[in-house]
């Protein structure tokens, strides 16, 4: 079974600075997707960025980018120019392309932005 | 498009009562997933349904929990004889099918509190 590990329960960063959230996963599959979700206090799960495992190029969405290291099974999220609205829980998730395509989530990292 | 609608947003039940959680997927989406989030944890997969069919219920407790997605109407997650340990946020997500590359669209969740 696949597992996802986020080793940083909490992180904080100064507004306008850059922060990196770590995520590692374990799988024997070759085709899969990786996601970062943001969960603000409203509880809504918001998709931040996704990465297809077959793509070597790291995904980028505006201030959000990932460092995908397939061999190391690492998928970190970098947030540049941090803003107060970025404060939230961040979850890394794995999705197999086999079977039910269910998401496997990490434990989450609580990100605080200091003004 | 109203997105994935879950109701109620908050539900309080006494131990031993039944809880019914509803999920209306996005228009055109025929695949529904239910996830449970315990306090300070990531989401855990419970069940995957297509219209009138349960495809994967490997994450659902064998007793007291059931799910359905009828031909007409919302998907229902039913918890009978609730216990304190059932207190959690329950999320529904929908997708148009297996080929969706963008993950799912999540609802805002139902927070169940058992007193």
Q: pLDDT tens-digit profile of B32-90?
A: 999 999 988 889 999 999 999 999 999 999 999 999 999 999 999 999 999 999 999 99
Count the Cβ atoms, other than its own, within 10 Å of residue B52.
Answer: 10
pLDDT at B99: 58
Cβ pair A100:B108 closer than 8 A = no
Q: What is the CA radius of gyration of chain B?
A: 13
Give bridge partners of residue B63 from the DSSP assignment. Answer: none
Cross-chain Cβ contact B102/A42 below 8 Å: no
Report the alpha-carbon distance of residue B30 to residue B22 in Å, rounded: 15
Rounded Cα gap, residues A47 and A36, in angstroms: 6
* Tokens describing residue B43: 């989401």
Q: What is the pLDDT confidence band of residue A97, given thresholds at 50, 70 and 90? A: confident
B contact residues 72-91, partner A, Cβ 8 Å cutoff: 89, 91
Residue linked to tokens 């392309």: A97
Question: Apex CA B67: angle with CA B76 and CA B12, to 5°?
Answer: 55
**Per-window interface: B 36-65 vs A, CB < 8 A:** 40-45, 48, 55-56, 58-59
Of all residues in chain A, the one with the smallest CA distance to B88 is: A43
Per-residue pLDDT at A30: 87
Give the tens place of pLDDT for each residue, A32-67: 999 999 999 989 999 999 999 998 899 999 999 999
pLDDT in tens, A69-78: 999 999 999 9
Per-residue pLDDT, A110 = 97
The first and second tokens of residue A8, run together, are 């940083």
Please give the DSSP secondary-structure letter assigned to residue B81. Answer: S
Which residues in chain A are contacts of B89 at CB distance < 8 A? 43
Distance from the Cα of B77 to chain A's closest Cα (Å) equals: 17
Q: Do B43 and A47 touch (CB under 8 A)?
A: no
């Amino acid at each position: 079974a696949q597992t996802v590990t986020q080793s940083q329960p909490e992180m904080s960063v100064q507004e306008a600075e850059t922060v990196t959230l770590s995520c590692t996963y374990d799988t024997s599959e070759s085709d899969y997707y990786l996601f970062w979700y943001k969960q603000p206090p409203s509880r809504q799960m918001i998709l931040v960025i996704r990465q297809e495992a077959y793509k070597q190029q790291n995904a980028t969405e505006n201030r959000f980018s990932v460092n995908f290291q397939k061999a190391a099974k690492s998928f970190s999220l970098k947030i540049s120019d941090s803003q107060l609205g970025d404060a939230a829980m961040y979850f890394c998730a794995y999705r197999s392309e086999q079977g039910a395509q269910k998401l496997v989530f990490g434990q989450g990292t609580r990100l605080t932005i200091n003004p | 498009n109203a997105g994935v609608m879950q109701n109620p947003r908050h539900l309080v039940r006494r131990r031993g009562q039944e809880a019914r959680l509803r999920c209306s997927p996005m228009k055109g989406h025929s695949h529904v997933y239910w996830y449970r989030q315990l306090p300070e944890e990531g989401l855990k997969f419970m069940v995957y349904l297509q219209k009138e069919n349960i495809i994967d219920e490997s994450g659902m407790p064998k007793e007291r929990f059931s799910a359905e997605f009828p031909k007409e109407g919302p998907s229902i997650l039913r918890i009978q004889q609730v216990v304190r340990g059932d207190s959690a946020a329950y999320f529904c997500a929908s997708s148009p099918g297996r080929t969706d590359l963008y993950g799912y669209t999540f609802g805002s969740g139902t927070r169940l509190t058992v007193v």
